[in-house]
C-alpha cells in the first residue's frame, strides 16, 4: 500500500476509512451535533489496530475550526459533502492549492433500474432521504429512476412518504424527528427558498 504524504481532511466515516485504507492519514471532522457516533467510529478503528495518528478526529462547528483546517500546510486534500455557506467558502479558498472533488449538489443519488425490486427501492429511498430527519451528509438528495418504472415508483414513493409519522424522535413509532437547531433549519430554508 503506497503511503501518500500529507493529511486528508474528511467529513464522512466512509471517506475517512477509504483514505486510511489507501495508506493516508485523515482528519475526520464530523457534524458538531453528533460527536458520540463519530467517537465510536474512531474507537473501532483503534480497536482494529489502526496506529495512533492515522485517523484523527476534531470536533467543533465548521465555521469555527474550518480556517485552521483549510490553511494548515499539511492538509493536502479536502472533501466536504455539504452545501452550507462555509463549505462553499472552503472550496473557493482551497481551489488555487489543490484539485478538489466537487459534487455540484448531485450527492447521494439512489438509482432505480427497470429490474429493481420497487418496494425495496422505495424503502431505501425513503430511509435515505428522511432518516435522521434528513440531517446527515449521506442523506439521499435525489432519486434517478429509469423511465419505464418511473410512474409506479413515484406513486409508491409518494404513498410511502405520506405514511411517515413526524414527532418526538425519541417516541416509539415516530419516523421523522425534529431538526436539531434553528440555525440548521434557517440554512436549509434559505437553500430551499433560493432553489424555488
Average pLDDT of the residues in 100-105? 51
- d(CA 86, CA 63) in angstroms, rounded, equals 6
What per-residue confidence (pLDDT) applies to 101?
54
With DSSP H G I counted as helix, E B as strand and the rest as coil, what are the percentages for the chain, rounded to 5? 45, 15, 40
Mean pLDDT of the chain: 75
pLDDT over 70 for what percent of the chain?
66
pTM: 0.54
**pLDDT band at 100; cut points 50, 70, 90:** low
The DSSP result for 116-151, as a single string, is S-HHHHHHHHHHHHHGGGG-STTS--EEEE-HHHHH
- d(CA 192, CA 174) in angstroms, rounded, equals 25
- d(CA 22, CA 72) in angstroms, rounded, equals 22
- d(CA 87, CA 65) in angstroms, rounded, equals 12
**pLDDT band at 3; cut points 50, 70, 90:** very low
- d(CA 114, CA 69) in angstroms, rounded, equals 44
Superfamily of domain 109-194: Aldehyde Dehydrogenase; Chain A, domain 2 (3.40.309.10)
- d(CA 184, CA 95) in angstroms, rounded, equals 26
Instruction: Kindly list the catalytic residues.
Output: 137
Amino acid at each position: 500500500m503506497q503511503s501518500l504524504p500529507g493529511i486528508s481532511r474528511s467529513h464522512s466515516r466512509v471517506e475517512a476509512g477509504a483514505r486510511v485504507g489507501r495508506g493516508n492519514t485523515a482528519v475526520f471532522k464530523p457534524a458538531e451535533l453528533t460527536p458520540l457516533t463519530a467517537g465510536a467510529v474512531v474507537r473501532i478503528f483503534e480497536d482494529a489496530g489502526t496506529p495512533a495518528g492515522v485517523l484523527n478526529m476534531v470536533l467543533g462547528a465548521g465555521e469555527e475550526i474550518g480556517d485552521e483546517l483549510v490553511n494548515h500546510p499539511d492538509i493536502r486534500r479536502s472533501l466536504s459533502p455539504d452545501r452550507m455557506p462555509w463549505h462553499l467558502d472552503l472550496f473557493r479558498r482551497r481551489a488555487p492549492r489543490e484539485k478538489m472533488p466537487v459534487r455540484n449538489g448531485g450527492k447521494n443519488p439512489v438509482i432505480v433500474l427497470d429490474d429493481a425490486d420497487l418496494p425495496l427501492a422505495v424503502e431505501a429511498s425513503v430511509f435515505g432521504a428522511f432518516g435522521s430527519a434528513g440531517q446527515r451528509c449521506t442523506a439521499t438528495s435525489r432519486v434517478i429512476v429509469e423511465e419505464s418504472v418511473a410512474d409506479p415508483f413515484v406513486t409508491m414513493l409518494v404513498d410511502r412518504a405520506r405514511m411517515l409519522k413526524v414527532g418526538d424522535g425519541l417516541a416509539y413509532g415516530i419516523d421523522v424527528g425534529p431538526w436539531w437547531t434553528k440555525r440548521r433549519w434557517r440554512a436549509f430554508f434559505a437553500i430551499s427558498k433560493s432553489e424555488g
